[in-house]
Amino acid sequence: MPELKGQVAVVTGASSGLGEATAVRLGQLGARVALLARSEAGLDRVAARISGSGGAAFTLPADLADPDAAVAAIERLVSGSGPPRVLVNAAATDAPGPAEEVPVADWQRVMAVNLTAPFLLSRAVFPHMRAAGGGTIVNVSSVTGRRGWVNASAYCATKFGLTGLTQALAAEGAPHSIRVVCLYPGAMATHWGTWNPADRGQPSRAGPEDALRPEDVAGYIAWLVCAPADRGGGRPDLRTRLALTDRRVASSSTTRPARVE
């Protein structure tokens, strides 16, 4: 029997890549999936994919760089479909290049999408999860959230910041059975490695032998969402740092956690 039957789950970045894979997997488990991203055409395609497999999905087109749009998307969701019990913050963007050459506007957009949006969306769903008796928030970070990389100052800063946000939210949510976790995947076989958005429709350059399949990471996210509330340790700080760094870990993580730090 589907473990999320009837529950509303929000997935950001749901028009492609890991967000799409996660939305599809949660739909297979019975969730009513709210798809949030900028691309209306991409969201419609994913919604059709989920509904075509017998699931339920609806679109919430919004630019997460716009704080008002992010909050309004949750308000539309709650008024039209009910409060969410699951939030997966999978959307991300970047402004690659040497720090001294990154335009301030580009830095601010990365901050808005990668860090401010997860904060705003989490803040918006928290009271609904608390009233419902609990919920799960999954923040997708990166290995760059544990070690800085050259020419990725904005991206790394937001992913390090996501760790602190996750730990704070986990501590605040624990008394209300709201679980908040942070994943640190390695390179995935998506179009993320193509910095120019116009090129992301091209086939991925990463082969399966040296990149994580988004479906594997999505399976781990689904495991976390469906796991018992106390899985991963009794203290909030032990439940917030979960790492996937290679394909073997991702492949086995649908049945058990790979590592809890």
Q: How far is CA 115 from CA 10, 23, 90, 159, in A?
A: 17, 20, 11, 8
220 assigned to active site: no
Q: For the packed helices 117-132 and 153-173, what is the interaxial angle rounded to 10 degrees?
A: 20
CB-CB neighbours of 63 under 10 Å = 16
Q: Which of 119, 126, 155, 220 is catalytic?
A: 155
Cα–Cα dist 8/56, whole Å: 10
Nearest by Cα to 157 from 142, 145, 167: 145
CB 44 within 8 A of CB 38: no
User: Which residues are annotated as catalytic?
Assistant: 155
